[in-house]
């Protein structure tokens, strides 16, 4: 299996996704949500920079379903 090219972390209420030379920050509702969403992103296999937005929003939706 090919390893994901990104690493997600949380910083305050932001999900921070790092690529080779790019950093994407996305503010969410809480620091707990940021941590959980970053963990969900890290479990997925993101191979291209163009996939990250879909992965980010899928992870946010997955988190919201889990807490509902």
pLDDT digits (tens, 9 = 90+) for 34-59: 999 999 999 998 888 888 889 999 99
- Residue 3, pLDDT > 80, answer no
Residue 2 belongs to a domain: no
Structure tokens at 58: 């899928």
- What domain range is 29 assigned to? 7-67
**pLDDT band at 24, cuts 50/70/90?**
very high
- pLDDT given at position 1: 60
- pLDDT given at position 48: 84
Identify the CA nearest to 32 among candidates 56, 64, 3.
Answer: 64
**pLDDT band at 7, cuts 50/70/90?**
very high
Identify the CA nearest to 18 among candidates 58, 40, 43, 46.
Answer: 46
């Amino acid at each position: 299996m090919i390893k994901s090219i990104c690493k997600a972390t949380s910083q305050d209420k932001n999900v921070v996704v790092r690529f080779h030379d790019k950093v994407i920050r996305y503010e969410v509702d809480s620091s707990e949500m940021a941590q959980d969403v970053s963990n969900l992103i890290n479990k997925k296999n993101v191979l291209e920079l163009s996939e990250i937005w879909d992965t980010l929003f899928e992870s946010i939706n997955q988190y919201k379903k889990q807490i509902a």
